[in-house]
Amino acid sequence: MGLSDIKIPKMKFKKIKLNMVEELDEIDYEKLEKKNLKKKRENPYEDMTNYKTVKEFFIKSTEQYPNRPCILEKPNHKEPYKTYTYKEFSEDVKGLGTALTSVLNLKDKRVIIIGETQYGWYVSYMAMLCGVGIAVPTDRELPLNELENIIKRSKASAIIYSSKKENDIKKIKEKVPEVEYFIEMKSNKTIEGKEVGLEHLIELGKNIIKSGNNDFEKIEINPEEFKILFFTSGTTSNSKGVMLNNRNLAENINAVSAYVKIYPIDRLFSVLPLHHCYESTIGFLLPIACGASVAICEGLRYIVPNIQEAKPTGILTVPLLVESLYKKINEKIVKSKKDKMVNTMISLTNALKGAGIDIKKKIFKEIYDNLGGNLRIIVSAAAPIDRKVGEWLEDIGITFLQGYGLTETAPISALTPEYKTCIGSAGKAIVQADIKVKDPNENGEGELLIKTPTLMLGYYEDEEETNKAIDADGYFNSGDIGYIDEDGYIFITGRSKNVIVTQNGKNIYPEEIEMILDKVDEIKESMIYGKKPETNSKKDEKELIITARIIPDYEVIEELYGKMSADEIYNLIWKRIKEVNKKLTSYKAIKCLEIKEGEFEKTSTMKIKRYKELSK
């Protein structure tokens, strides 16, 4: 499941009765005032962590919280969540790491991890980060040609894959002879040539450890060494690979600890795909560092029952999902004819909170029960969100945070402090980072430059692009336009780069699609952009329409087909676009065609002036 492929299913919540007046009568206000009245914070938490590597906090948590829940996974929809403790997780990681290094000889080699979120994914990734080699988390939605390309570009020696990817692996196996092992999750298959099951390797490794071999555990991690490779747009040979090290990831954990408190009793709900740096770092490594647990969502169709069963305290997500939860819950409130009462209670509880009495969780208990009962934090990132959604969440007592960053910053470079939220902003620069505005205009807006210890080592095998992205002073050119207010909160107002951001937070790089289009004989030039829906389109339609503005090659067309009418040329180009769409991941597919009259306006270096074209 890619971020852009999220299709929100029907969400079924329980009927909301909201007997709020009765709740008000039962509250001990004097006791609550003493409990809730706290001095307002302005500064980061003093007990910020200072980890150097992932292995450091992995060992600390597994030793400190051996019997606490670590990963919760549903064996199937009908059975309850199965809980893996920190002790079990640690033993499985060490077992797998031992087998990968001592049996399969994959030490310091590149290993692709691909598949839906599951326990084996977590074990595999942690084993890699704790000393095996270079992890290459890969989008499971990639078409076969793109997956093959990633395998070859990353020089992968092994592929750890979920059973749902088995057919795809079979189809490309012969095309990637350089891959030494194909390791299937949830499989006990013994080593047969290049094939082996992950469960078998874990048990094999555990037996080796029992025999006295603890070489894997002794591996020392160099915080600065290249250990993770994320492809920001895993498609053509020109896609960018982001090289990260252990320090990058560890500094993310340190950064969050200064702004947000995560406790061992906390439970994060994993709904986003793990191949994204956002989810694998903040949705997985962060709770591990804090001794907290992670509950895996079976899939979006089961999101409501899964939340109600897992009872998470935090959800890391994208705007589309948050907005859907907000919409569905409020539909229930309106249907129950309790909307006026809810608004009244929001005003009342806000006033009481201002006086140091927070009764929101009690008053809005039924809403919380629909979300598992324990939810206290929702973090939204990857794309802008409707301000009213964040405000409503805060109004009912859920802390709403926003994060900002890129894969290149591993990913967090800014985050909302939980002790001083600011709806609408992308947060404040993390304490280790310096974020500034380049050449601000009269409104203080300009490109955001980021200097941070979470910054990547560089782009994989692309020194030229690395030098373009990072200046001589170590600042990364984010490509995002924004401003920073007097309190240090960052507001994103646009993008200087050409990337199209879907409502779910997925990046689409126009040049990548244009490169394919420009190879089509009948197309002379092309420009891809995200077109806003017409005002008379569906009410809830906010997604940009991927549009191709095309200059046909009229000479070639006439040579190949003879004289054609405008409609015939349009249909011909559209036919070619459909052929191109088959080579693209679904969210990148072109949905609209525009035939351009005349030439594109260009710079002196013959680059299309996109902003000029779009203004037309």
pLDDT in tens, 571-596: 999 999 999 999 898 889 999 999 99
Q: Where are the alpha helices (DSSP H) in 452-509?
A: 463-469
Helix, strand, coil abundance in the chain, percent, nearest 5 = 40, 20, 40
Residue ranges of domains in the chain: 79-259, 509-615
In this predicted model, which residue has the larger pLDDT, 26 or 47? Answer: 47
Q: What is the pLDDT of residue 306?
A: 96
d(CA 252, CA 270): 18
Mean pLDDT of 467-496: 90
Domain formed by 509-615, architecture: 2-Layer Sandwich (3.30)
Q: What is the largest CA-CA distance in the chain?
A: 87
In this model, does residue 231 exceed pLDDT 50? Answer: yes
> Where does the pLDDT of residue 30 fall: very low under 50, low under 70, confident under 90, or very high at 90 and above?
low
Q: Do the domains 79-259 and 509-615 sit in the same CATH topology, yes or no?
A: no
328-379 pLDDT, tens digit per residue, is 888 888 888 888 989 999 999 999 888 888 899 988 998 999 999 999 999 9
Asked if residues 286 and 253 have their Cβ atoms less than 8 Å apart, the reply is yes
> Where does the pLDDT of residue 18 fall: very low under 50, low under 70, confident under 90, or very high at 90 and above?
low
Q: What is the pLDDT of residue 536?
A: 56
In this predicted model, which residue has the larger pLDDT, 536 or 611? Answer: 611
Q: What is the pLDDT of residue 457?
A: 98
275-319 pLDDT, tens digit per residue, is 999 999 999 999 999 999 999 999 888 999 999 999 999 999 888
Mean pLDDT of 12-27: 62
In this predicted model, which residue has the larger pLDDT, 238 or 131? Answer: 131
d(CA 162, CA 614): 42
User: What is the enclosing helix (H) or strand (E) of 579?
Assistant: helix 566-581
Q: What is the pLDDT of residue 248?
A: 98
Least confident of 125-134, 172-181, 238-247: 238-247
Q: How far is CA 178 from the centre of its chain?
A: 30
Least confident of 169-183, 458-472, 511-525: 511-525
What residue type is 486 in one-letter code?
E
d(CA 290, CA 301): 29
- Measured in residues, the chain has a length of 616
Q: What is the pLDDT of residue 512?
A: 76
In this model, does residue 404 exceed pLDDT 70? Answer: yes
Q: What is the pLDDT of residue 5?
A: 42
The answer to whether domain 79-259 has CATH 3.40.50.300 is no
d(CA 172, CA 167): 9
In this predicted model, which residue has the larger pLDDT, 385 or 578? Answer: 578
Q: What is the pLDDT of residue 601?
A: 81
In this model, does residue 22 exceed pLDDT 70? Answer: no
Mean pLDDT of 552-566: 93
Mean pLDDT of 121-132: 98
In this model, does residue 2 exceed pLDDT 60? Answer: no
Question: What average pLDDT does the chain have?
Answer: 89
Q: How far is CA 28 from the centre of its chain?
A: 42
What residue type is 444 in one-letter code?
G
Tokens 């490169």 locate to 515
Cβ density class 551-587: b for 16+ within 10 Å, e for less: bbbeeebeeeeeebeeeebbebbeebbeebbeebbeb
Mean pLDDT of 181-198: 98
Q: What is the pLDDT of residue 402?
A: 94
529-552 pLDDT, tens digit per residue, is 988 887 555 544 567 899 999 999
> Where does the pLDDT of residue 490 fall: very low under 50, low under 70, confident under 90, or very high at 90 and above?
very high
Least confident of 208-222, 384-398, 399-413: 384-398
Quote the tokens at residue 306: 């899964």
